[in-house]
Amino acid sequence: MTASPIDGNHDLLVRRIYQGVLEQPPWQSALQPLREALDAQVVSLVLRPPSEEDRGVILNCVRPRSKSSGARPTLADPGDWEVTAYREQFFSLDPFVNLPLDQVIALEDILPDAALTTSDYYLHYLEPVGLFRILGVDTGEPDGLLVRLRFSRRREEPAFNADDRALLQALTPHLRQATLIYHQLSRAASERDIYSGAVDQLSMATIILDTRGGVLTTNALAAALLKDDAGLRLRNGRLQLERRDANQALQDALDNVLRAQQAGRASLVRALRIARPGGRPPLGLVIKPVPVAEGVDGQVGPCAAVFISDPEQRDHASQQILGELFSLTPAEANVAILLSRGLSLTEVAEAQNISPHTARAQLKSIFAKTGATRQAELVRMVIKSVASLG
């Protein structure tokens, strides 16, 4: 009795399916062994189906032209006719979509060969690329991320048999679970990017440390600050200050926060001012523990966050957003932004190339629209607004 294909290929394919969650594009390393396991001409992974308004995301892995050539199969070029034609013309004709979740189905199960060969989908898409037999499965969440996995063979090749179906059915629960993991990781990454972008736009340098005080990551502002002649340096992967007494204070503060995090006291915060050479204004530095989820080993993960404020770093308040928030004209929004940067009204008039009388009139209009009664109040409103996130 011949061995089931599950015996020889199952473990490798399962590993590749879970490994693919961390790849970009996802599951690219799984496509070749999947195609080979089912001896298909093409394997297609549809991560986002095309629509009239969306090109979608489809990954294809194609059998090499010659098995004896030694060529390794790779992902098909997204610009290939087979991919672009399906996206742009034939997705709406595809009869092999919206399958019942987690059920392995062949095209002939729902469309007999005689009916297929007379269909526009076959005549204008499948036949020109030499495909005929299709086996597939849809999996994921009904209201979340869905993936479609399709295997295609040429007309002269045999139909997918019971062993092929059994192998794909055995892999489907793993693909489903990997899809759910990928969906959660993608959502977490998107949220992280949003928060990271907000911190960058708020002109806040951010450094993430591990349990030993080593630097794990920095945002763009922090990386620029570490290269600047600001007295703050990265040495052997750790934050250091030039002055010995100041550096000792920094290391003590870091040690206190790291110990607090490891003891589960995430509320401890330390703050320092860092003097800079050349009479430049000092940096403000805050160190906070990073909460760790219960059951997570934090030995090499994020342990503390260092936030650094540079008085010389200009805010990037958006004229458009500020105008929309307070119904200001572009000229009025510019006046409010310049005032928030510390300019006097006279300096604002010079910077805007307007008369002091016009600047005072614009400020009066700004007060009326924002409800502010003093320049200090207006400055506070601008700084605390969401205009810098625009």
What confidence tens digit (pLDDT) does each residue in 247-274 have? 899 999 999 888 888 777 777 889 998 8
- Helix (H/G/I), strand (E/B), else coil: 96: coil
pLDDT single digits (tens) 149-161: 999 999 999 999 9
Distance CA 174, CA 18 (A): 8
Report how far residue 239's alpha carbon sits from residue 304's, in angstroms, rounded to the nearest whole number. 12
Q: How far apart are CA 149 and CA 165, in angstroms?
A: 13
Residue among 194, 260, 200 at smallest CA distance from 225: 200
The CA distance from 238 to 52, in Å, is 52
Percentage with pLDDT > 70 across the chain: 83
What pLDDT is attached to residue 125? 83
Q: Domains for the chain: give ranges and CATH numbers.
A: 5-189 (3.30.450.80), 203-309 (3.30.450.20), 319-389 (1.10.10.10)
What percent of the chain lies above the pLDDT cut of 90?
A: 27
pLDDT tens digits for range 347-360: 989 988 999 999 99
Question: What's the Cα-to-Cα distance from 256 to each of 134, 239, 252, rounded to whole Å?
Answer: 62, 15, 6
The answer to whether 362 and 376 are in contact (CB under 8 A) is: no
| E-state strands within 141-198 | 146-153
Taking the model in full, what pTM does it have? 0.64
Question: Quick one: pLDDT at residue 295?
Answer: 46
pLDDT range class, residue 1, cuts 50, 70, 90: very low
Average of per-residue pLDDT across 73-78: 54
